[in-house]
Amino acid sequence: MAGLTAPLLGLQKKSLREQALSALRTAITSGELEPGRHLVETELSEMLQISRGTLREALRQLEQEGLVSAGPRGRLSVRHLDEKEIRDIYAVRAALESLAARTLCELPDRQHVTESLHKAIDAMTAATSGSLEDRIESDLEFHRTLCRLTGNETLLHSWESLEGSIRMSIMFAGLEKGVSNMSVDRHNDIVAAIDTGDASLARKTILEHMDAAAANLVA
Amino acid sequence: MAGLTAPLLGLQKKSLREQALSALRTAITSGELEPGRHLVETELSEMLQISRGTLREALRQLEQEGLVSAGPRGRLSVRHLDEKEIRDIYAVRAALESLAARTLCELPDRQHVTESLHKAIDAMTAATSGSLEDRIESDLEFHRTLCRLTGNETLLHSWESLEGSIRMSIMFAGLEKGVSNMSVDRHNDIVAAIDTGDASLARKTILEHMDAAAANLVA
DNA sequence: TGTAAGTCGACTGTTTACAGTCGGTATTAG
DNA sequence: CTAATACCGACTGTAAACAGTCGACTTACA
């Protein structure tokens, strides 16, 4: 009985590919693999202790997510974002999240929505005294929840495809600037707007939030 | 000199992976691989005459694009869309394209934009007498152009990630219904709206177009 | 007969080794 | 000093192999 190798509390074991994917995402968005850094397959596969084939599958996905970009002859490197790209990313993010906000306004069970969002804000509050990473994490979790609660899987998937780029934007702009807009108050405004059920108000609130966040990053 | 294996008229030769990706996309969105169909790696790799490793890289991307979905133990099958999913896909599509329309309104060189879009509409007109596939193709090309002209690479990329799902939606709903909304007139309205430079009008026009298209598919 | 255990086959996950190709770089001949 | 050559690093693609898993089928036993 004792000596279980892993708790497995509802966790399903992930494939090596998924583990590699997570590891690479973290390495990139944490800056451990700096933008522009050339990624050599053999190096990475040795580093991660996986075969090249498995690694390549993970790299394809990172490419799709925009974390790495392909140069001539398939050469991969960590993507470098300039200010225009950050603005562009945030414009798309704003479009997706404003759809989410509008959708939530038209949901029958808005009670549950408000509840879940408040819970996410509580997590942000709890993280205020924590590390920078924790604060970023809880902020993104709030916005991910926003998308998830719509029940629109495509929307959630599109947002998650953008998540890596969003993280890179925050990192690129410097962590201090990046988190300064993550105040709990601003997020309460969003929930309040959704709670009124006024779709255009909710949309407006999100767009302002995104504008402020983007302006903050590239200012 | 004679006997070139391929014309290569300005075409850059694509990697086997990319070729496989295109072939699979076409096979799925054309219905040759019907929704729900279980995809066996060894079968496909033999069919496409490529190795399993290369195939798996292509499959990862199709998974990301939502054309195939993973079942238990990594079993892949062609994705099946129900009506809700189609509506959801079109909601996201509408959000992206309305961003595109709004962005185009604020562009300095709107002359060039209008020109390019008219050219795309001309292609649609030319396709009216062509095959169903051609009509769908030219319609999607118009909308892709809409996104491309914004100069927002992230927007274009997000739209293209959705393109496969859009094609599946059209196919699923039955080709007759799917193309009935692809009238040239409607697209002229969109260009006209953008041409006025009125962002909210352009947004409204696109949203109506998308609503009509989605309603048509699931009606 | 009914069911529980054992077997087989089909697939995926993953690894290893190897051939081919393309550029860049260093070396060497003129 | 220049140019042809050889080499090397890195990516693309391939083939073969093995383990793990699950479903289906078979078989043996109560």
pLDDT of residue A132: 83
Q: Which of A103, A95, A25, A105 is nearest to A65 (CA)?
A: A25
Structure tokens at B14: 């694509």
Q: Which of A54, A98, A149, A157 would best serve as a mutation to test chain B binding (most B beta carbons within 10 A)? A: A157
**B153 chain-A contacts, CB cut-off 8 A:** 85, 88
pLDDT of residue A176: 60
B162 and A158: CB-CB below 8 Å? yes
pLDDT of residue B9: 37
Domains of chain A and any CATH numbers: 16-78 (1.10.10.10), 83-218 (1.20.120.530)
Contact between residue A136 and residue A174 where contact means Cβ atoms under 8 Å apart:
no
The full DSSP string for A103-165 is: HHHT-S-HHHHHHHHHHHHHHHHHHTTS-HHHHHHHHHHHHHHHHHHTT-HHHHHHHHHHHHH
- Across the range A78-82, mean pLDDT stands at 94
pLDDT of residue A89: 98
The per-residue pLDDT for range B188-197, each reduced to its tens digit, is 999 999 999 9
Distance of residue A159 Cα from the nearest chain B Cα, in angstroms: 9
Specify whether the backbone of A50 is left (phi greater than 0), alpha (psi in -120 to 50) or beta.
beta
Structure tokens at B212: 């009509």
H-only helix segments in chain A: 16-29, 41-48, 52-65, 83-105, 110-127, 132-149, 153-172, 175-179, 184-196, 199-218
Find the nucleotide nearest B73 (Cα to C1′). C12
Distance of residue B160 Cα from the nearest chain A Cα, in angstroms: 11
pLDDT of residue B180: 64
| Band (B1; pLDDT cuts 50, 70, 90) | very low
**Cα separations (Å) of A123 from A8, A11, A131, A147, A206?**
24, 21, 13, 17, 20
| Sheet architecture: strand order including B76-78 | B38-39, B76-78, B68-70
pLDDT of residue B49: 96
3-state secondary structure of A185: helix
pLDDT of residue A184: 85
Share of chain A above pLDDT 70, in %: 90
> Exposed e or buried b for every residue in B48-73, given b needs 16+ CB within 10 A?
bebeebbbbbbbbbbbbbbbbeeeee
Under 8 Å CB pairs connecting chains A and B tally to: 78
pLDDT of residue B5: 33
Q: Indicate the range of A89-98, B2-11, B46-55, B86-95 predicted with least confidence.
A: B2-11
B125 CA, C15 C1': separation in Å?
Answer: 54
Kindly give, in sequence order, each residue whose CB lies less than 8 Å from that of residue A203, ignoring residues fewer than 6 positions away.
A98, A101, A102
Distance of residue B25 Cα from the nearest chain A Cα, in angstroms: 16
> Exposed e or buried b for every residue in A72-108, given b needs 16+ CB within 10 A?
eeeebbbbebeeebbbbbbbbbbbbbbbbbbbbbeee
Structure tokens at B80: 């099946």
Chain D footprint bases within 7 A of protein beta carbons: 9-17, 21-22
What is the ipTM, given to two decimal places? 0.90
Contact between residue A155 and residue B88 where contact means Cβ atoms under 8 Å apart:
yes
The upper half-sphere exposure of residue A73, i.e. CA atoms within 13 Å in the direction of its Cβ, equals 2
| Band (A78; pLDDT cuts 50, 70, 90) | very high
Task: Provide the mean pLDDT of chain A.
Answer: 90
Place of tokens 């495809």: A161
pLDDT of residue A169: 94
| Band (B6; pLDDT cuts 50, 70, 90) | very low
Contact between residue B182 and residue B124 where contact means Cβ atoms under 8 Å apart:
yes
Contact between residue B193 and residue B101 where contact means Cβ atoms under 8 Å apart:
yes
Question: Residue type for A195, please?
Answer: D
* Residue of chain A whose alpha carbon sits nearest to that of B101: A95
The per-residue pLDDT for range B107-147, each reduced to its tens digit, is 988 999 999 999 999 999 999 888 888 889 999 999 999 99
Q: Cβ of B84 < 7 Å from strand C?
A: no
Q: Which of B31, B15, B29 is nearest to B66 (CA)?
A: B29
Backbone angles phi, psi at B159, to 5 degrees: -65, -45
* Residue of chain A whose alpha carbon sits nearest to that of B67: A154
Q: Hey, which residues does B68 pair with through a beta bridge?
A: B78
pLDDT of residue A171: 87
Q: Is the pLDDT assigned to residue A70 strictly greater than 90?
A: yes
The per-residue pLDDT for range B85-110, each reduced to its tens digit, is 999 999 999 999 999 999 999 998 89
| Band (B184; pLDDT cuts 50, 70, 90) | confident
Contact between residue A184 and residue A121 where contact means Cβ atoms under 8 Å apart:
yes
3-state secondary structure of B70: strand
- Across the range A3-27, mean pLDDT stands at 73
The per-residue pLDDT for range A122-165, each reduced to its tens digit, is 999 998 888 888 889 999 999 999 999 999 999 999 999 999 99
Q: Is the pLDDT assigned to residue B7 strictly greater than 70?
A: no
- Greatest CA span in chain B, whole angstroms? 58
Share of chain A above pLDDT 90, in %: 77
- Across the range B10-28, mean pLDDT stands at 87
Question: How far, rounded to the nearest angstrom, does the alpha carbon of residue A86 sit from its chain's CA centroid?
Answer: 14
A95 and B98: CB-CB below 8 Å? yes
pLDDT of residue B218: 84
pLDDT of residue A180: 64
Q: Is the pLDDT assigned to residue A175 strictly greater than 80?
A: no
Q: Which of B82, B60, B55, B54 is nearest to B168 (CA)?
A: B82
| Band (B153; pLDDT cuts 50, 70, 90) | very high
Q: Is the pLDDT assigned to residue A86 strictly greater than 90?
A: yes
Q: Is the pLDDT assigned to residue B208 strictly greater than 70?
A: yes
CA distance linking residue B19 with residue B13, whole number of Å = 9
Q: Indicate the range of A114-128, A177-191, B27-41 predicted with least confidence.
A: A177-191
The per-residue pLDDT for range A202-211, each reduced to its tens digit, is 999 999 999 9
